[in-house]
A and B are shown apart, each in its own frame.
Chain A
């Protein structure tokens, strides 16, 4: 419901784009601010960063892949 905007575990693409780089693997510990994925969109290599300290639960993208808006790229525990 309305709480989805508070969700900081499912990291989604804010706009369609191409995955340039995936910096993490499943099971890896991440610190707040760590770069997880780089998404080429809107003329920018956007850094998708960890909003909190956590462990990577799922990685759903590979470099070169195109993702649609809202696609869940990484899930944190």
Chain B
């Protein structure tokens, strides 16, 4: 056959694979309100940047009538491309082909692109849309999952790993996303659970829908398994693209630098934090008043809202922000907020992203349920993460910094490089009411008018300790600043810490309390 004929044959073969699971299956996918795997990749990546590999891979299963079955691409598409010019490796499970079920060759395609991403030190994006293990392939299918989990762990902290849940992701399959850095979910489309509604009903007799058990909102609001929630696949892809602009290709690089921009004048830093320490406010507006173009990219917005995490830029450079949120549960630290912040801090540290911590919290949330839920070990994660982080660490105490919360929130004692406090900061071992009741118990109980005495002693304590100057006198905070100086000082701090050396004794790895 002349070459021309062979090229024709190639085109025909490609054309066939591009059909995916065929017209009927594609129509079903569309009816579910979902894009096809290939549409997803093309929508997410830069135009014409996608190159597919292993298009002609075929499964080798022979049992249970699999011998004659043709499964195009074995139900998964792999390749490389770019997002805003940054290279990424990607796989997308194709639900139209045997329900995206994971067989031996399907898994081998995924692990091939994972190996490639790690070798080339580029981010990996996995689009999950699969019914689960391909039962006909038995233990080979389970082996495939294990190989994926192993590579997720191997790559962790070296290349960014992003999971996009655009369909069912159940049973063992959920553990790959759980091992990756960021999980994206979409309303009505994403479903994640270890055991589905049928199993729960047969074992426990409890009835629940897939959506109520492990839908997008559940993971965005309640479990904390998801980092980004979107109402459509298109919105989800925009979120992924934006995330890619904030993070580096791998752990030896810095994130891409952008043109510096001043914050928008709508966010006036002097007007955001009320003088009365009992008045709540939205700490995200303080971040917006500080970062370039007031552009704050929040992560896990709907879960553990009492702490805020996310990326912003200072002078064009990506910075990870951690801030107590007085608007939600007074901004207390608890099991979930400690967990949320600790993981983010470790992400930033692994990928050379400086940390900026904004402090305004009353302390840890008291309560039997918190204690019994293990707030000791969860709270310890935060201390561990901050202590371990060797990236530049900048702390601004906006208002309250009491007790264990003061220490945990990137204090000098955990090796913050810069600690600034606003003039309204109250840094003390506990609040004036509690402290006065303990220190002056005798005076108060023996006074003719105990209430009056208590009021006096509270005032006395407030005046003496509820300010930033006691801590400043010890050098625990570097300087007391006016709110409007914050951005200028943070920019300066970032500049002088660009060559920071933080040598630590060699160890295989630490034992964080997880």
Q: Which residues of A contact B (CB under 8 A)?
A: 1-3, 5-6, 14-15, 40-47, 69
Contacts and interface: CB of A to CB of B under 8 A. Distances in A.
Interface string B360-381: 0011011100000000000000
Contacts of A2: 208
A44 B280 contact: yes
Contact of A44 (B212, B217, B330, B366): B330
A37 B84 CA distance: 47
Interface of B: 206, 208, 212, 217-218, 221-222, 277-280, 326-327, 329-332, 362-363, 365-367, 400, 402, 431
A44 B278 contact: yes
B362 A46 contact: no
Given A40-B278, A46-B280, A69 B367 contact: yes
A42 B365 contact: yes
Given A1-B206, A3-B212, A5-B222, A44 B365 contact: no
Given A41-B330, A42-B330, A6 B222 contact: yes
Nearest to B332: A42
A44 B277 CA distance: 7
B326 A44 contact: yes
The secondary-structure label for the interface of chain A is mixed
B334 to A, nearest CB: 9
16 contacts: A1-B206, A2-B208, A14-B329, A15-B365, A40-B278, A42-B329, A42-B332, A42-B363, A43-B277, A44-B280, A44-B326, A44-B362, A45-B279, A45-B280, A46-B280, A46-B330
A44 B402 CA distance: 13
Contacts of B218: 6
Contacts of B278: 40, 43-45
A46 B329 contact: yes
Nearest to A45: B278
A5 B221 CA distance: 9
